[in-house]
Structure 1
Amino acid sequence: MGRGRAGAALLAFGALGLGLAFGAMGMRALTAAEREGLAQFLLQFWGNPGLVLHAAAPAAFRRALAANLKVEGLLYLLGISVAGIPLVPVVLFFRGFVAGFALAAVATAFGPRGPAAVLTLLVPGSLLLLPAWWWTAGQALGLSWRLVHRPGSGGWGRELARFTALAAVMAGVVTLGTAVQCFLSPLAAHWLGL
């Protein structure tokens, strides 16, 4: 990996990490009543295994998959355009913010069972989703940077094909991560009695 690509990967990692940290801190900005309302909503959804495992899971999967693939598609489009340099870190920051906020919200909602709930409900899918977005974002930044700084250097067809193949593979990883979050994680939480 060249210095440019390593720098792009580091920038993407930093944006994602900052988003996670700010998202977790964002939970503290809510009032006690807002935190309680959010906790009740989460417990109503995840606290009813029949709802999660049978009725709501397919619809939740479709909605989550559409949203997650939009992020992957947006990172791809930004990577093949000059707009990617300033916008890719912004997209990654916001995805990190959402993930960090969700982690803090679930930990709060489940009280003493919070760490177990986070490890069961959110971490397995996130271990696929976040690295997929990070990897796509790092490659998108590298490609955008090259478009700006070496536009006439040639080899664009090969690089575009490589980036497109990577984005397609990462879309598959995103699909798998979404399936884990919507189907396997609630099932594991039910087995563990969360």
Structure 2
Amino acid sequence: MFSLRQLGTSSIQFMRRNLSILLFLIIIFISGVTFGAIAVKMLSYAEKNQLVNYLANFFQNFKGKLVLQQEILAQEAVFYNLKLILLVWILGISIVGMPIIPILVFLRGFILGFAVGFLVDELAVKGFLFAVVSIVPHNLFAIPSLIIAGTAGIAFALNLFKSRFKRMPINFAQYFFGYSTLMIILAVILVTAGLIESFLTPILMSFITKTVIY
């Protein structure tokens, strides 16, 4: 069994070995956020009006009471995060699926950038505050986990590629075990993110909606 100290040391060594991949995915994520924010400015009048109406209805539902069914939301959020980490794990061991990992990271950034950009564009400071409480808490865990999982997936796929086609020897069993163990740890963190999104975020959203927006 690994101790926490050994786990921390292994994690640092992993980051150092794959720093270029990690930085690449961080840049991809930031690019996604940037393009998402820019996309808000490219919406047509009809599209923006539709989103504004949806946002208004959303705030009305929050006014006065918390309407989200938290147990159902928790199941959906946790299940979504587990599916995501499983998908990244599969893409890593498949080799050919490796290019999809940066796309997933970019899309996650794009969605966040679009959501925050739209809220700020429509509600200015109030929109920014709402974005902070509705998006930031669970994504403090989810985004780093996704980027680290993506880094591990790409690194694992590259090593498999080198082993198969360049005849570079690797201890596959040991490497696969380490890769899968890391994914399990990240899955636990993503479950935590899902629980935060389900139980803490709605409370913060309701508070901001009642005290700041209305």
- Judged with a 3 Å threshold, the aligned counterparts in structure 2 of structure 1 residues 120 and 134 are, in CA distance, closer, same or farther, namely same
1:91 aligns with 2:104: yes
| Rounded Cα–Cα distance in structure 2 between residues aligned with 1:172 and 1:100 | 25
Unaligned runs of 5+ in 2: 1-12
| Rounded Cα–Cα distance in structure 1 between residues aligned with 2:64 and 2:54 | 13
Query: Number of paired residues?
Result: 194
1:181 aligns with 2:197: yes
| Rounded Cα–Cα distance in structure 2 between residues aligned with 1:46 and 1:61 | 21
| Rounded Cα–Cα distance in structure 2 between residues aligned with 1:123 and 1:80 | 31
Residue pair 2:28, 2:106 contacting (<8 A) in 1 also: yes
| Rounded Cα–Cα distance in structure 1 between residues aligned with 2:30 and 2:75 | 27
Shift of 1:109: 4.5
Shift of 1:89: 0.9
Map 1:25-174; keep pairs closer than 5 Å: 25-49=38-62, 53-151=66-164, 152-174=168-190
- Judged with a 3 Å threshold, the aligned counterparts in structure 2 of structure 1 residues 41 and 60 are, in CA distance, closer, same or farther, namely farther
- Judged with a 3 Å threshold, the aligned counterparts in structure 2 of structure 1 residues 120 and 37 are, in CA distance, closer, same or farther, namely same
TM-score (norm 1): 0.87
Identity of counterpart residues, as a percentage?
23
Amino acid aligned to 2:117: A
Residue pair 1:23, 1:100 contacting (<8 A) in 2 also: yes
Residue pair 2:68, 2:202 contacting (<8 A) in 1 also: no
60-69 vs 163-172, which deviates more?
60-69
Shift of 1:56: 3.6
| Rounded Cα–Cα distance in structure 1 between residues aligned with 2:118 and 2:79 | 22
Matching residue of 1:20: 33
Q: Which has the larger radius of gyration?
A: 2
What is the CA deviation profile of residues 91-117 of structure 1, one whole-angstrom value per residue up to 9, with x for unaligned ones? 211121122212223333544401111
Amino acid aligned to 1:34: E
- Judged with a 3 Å threshold, the aligned counterparts in structure 2 of structure 1 residues 173 and 84 are, in CA distance, closer, same or farther, namely same
Residue pair 2:149, 2:183 contacting (<8 A) in 1 also: yes
Unaligned runs of 5+ in 1: none
| Rounded Cα–Cα distance in structure 1 between residues aligned with 2:197 and 2:96 | 31
What is the CA deviation profile of residues 37-96 of structure 1, one whole-angstrom value per residue up to 9, with x for unaligned ones? 213323422443379734443333333333332221111111112124322111211121
CA RMSD in angstroms comes to 2.4
| Rounded Cα–Cα distance in structure 2 between residues aligned with 1:75 and 1:116 | 32
| Rounded Cα–Cα distance in structure 1 between residues aligned with 2:63 and 2:88 | 36
| Rounded Cα–Cα distance in structure 2 between residues aligned with 1:68 and 1:176 | 10
Give the secondary structure class of the aligned counterpart of 2:30: helix
87-96 vs 28-37, which deviates more?
28-37
TM-score (norm 2): 0.79
- Judged with a 3 Å threshold, the aligned counterparts in structure 2 of structure 1 residues 191 and 34 are, in CA distance, closer, same or farther, namely same
